[in-house]
Amino acid sequence: MRFLCLHGRGTTAKIFEMQTARICQALGRDHQFVFANGNIPTQPDAGAATISDEYFGYVGNTVPEYEDLYNDLLDIVNNQGPFDGLMGFSEGGAVAAWMLIENSKYPFTFGRFKCAIFFSAAVPFDPDVVRTGIVKPVDPVIEGEMIKIPTAHIWSSENDVNAGAAQSLASLCDARVQETFVHTLGHNVPGSKSDSEALAGALRIIERTIERARD
């Protein structure tokens, strides 16, 4: 399977590639991972300045910035796709969910995704609401399960700024085909820090999600 991979705010595609290196290696050569930079320069996230001298995000504060993001993502899908799955961390996870919500309303806008993997992901914005000129997160209580493909949701119970948001995002996804795993590594991707138990737990649900997508 081919995955489009979207990084956290204040980092880069290369940093996300480093953060997920052990996971990608463990999943094996049957899969390809394409890492894409955000389009908005930002301040560095914690630790990013020691790795890179430029840092990006995907999400802006204005409707035109969302229109630019939409077009940039279409370009990536059209020029580097097709993709079978999405993998996103923090803000990148929110953008991945945003793409899936758009697909649920307007089928195959971003291609035929079969699964998604979310690490400490933020809550996405509703693309239809953004088109009205309002930048507002989706409310899972109101909208319910908008994402119907198999999903894996991974976050931390300790020191994770997106713990609540990650659970809200899970509520937007079909409970019948979702997997969750909660670790204690803070706002990090399992495998980016030395913790074999967290890595094994994350891999377990990712592999189950991929198998569901293949059924």
3-class DSSP state for residue 45?
coil
- Interatomic CA distance for residues 187 and 161, integer angstroms: 7
Per residue in 44-76, pLDDT (tens digit) is: 787 776 777 788 899 887 888 888 999 999 999
Proportion of the chain above pLDDT 90, given as a percent: 73
Higher pLDDT pick, 67 / 110:
110
Residues in contact with 14: Cβ distance below 8 Å, sequence separation at least 6, in sequence order: 35, 51, 52
Proportion of the chain above pLDDT 70, given as a percent: 99
Per residue in 151-201, pLDDT (tens digit) is: 999 999 998 889 999 999 999 999 999 999 999 999 999 997 767 899 999
* Global confidence as pTM: 0.94
- Interatomic CA distance for residues 158 and 18, integer angstroms: 22
